[in-house]
Amino acid sequence: MMLFRVDPNSPLPLADQVAACVRGAVADGTVRPGERLPAAGRLAESLGINVHTVLRGYQQLRDEGLIELRRGRGAVVTATASPGRTRLLAHARDLVAEARGLGMADEDVLALVRASLAEGR
């Protein structure tokens, strides 16, 4: 069973912290494809946060392809979610954040990635 923790004093928004907990659990193998995540209402109550905050975190994960949100079944880790994919996603996020910090345009970052792919052929 995965452990959710949020820090209300963190500069990272609470929804992002919820999503990060799930990403971390998938990355370290604590949560596997097909497993259900806690119901948003129950999780919100246990963390002392708004249910909409949990749902925003879950929606981020859905948009990333890590979970499916199903009416009646809740949030389920997708079959394509894997520790390796999750780690790569984290590296990609770090790359984007660093590039934006350097003032690079998204197109320039994509060009760097394409150049790296071409070098690996």
Map out the domains of the chain with their CATH numbers.
Answer: 14-77 (1.10.10.10), 83-119 (no CATH)
Which tokens hold the place of 73?
Answer: 């079944």
What backbone phi and psi angles, to 5 degrees, belong to 9? -90, -5
pLDDT score for 76: 95
Each residue's pLDDT tens digit, 32-80: 999 999 999 999 999 999 999 999 999 999 998 899 998 888 899 998 8
Rounded Cα distance, 118 and 14, in Å: 38
pLDDT score for 45: 96
What's the pLDDT band for 19 if we cut at 50, 70, 90?
very high
Which tokens hold the place of 100?
Answer: 């934006």
pLDDT score for 54: 97
Lowest mean pLDDT among 74-78, 84-88, 93-97: 84-88
pLDDT score for 6: 96
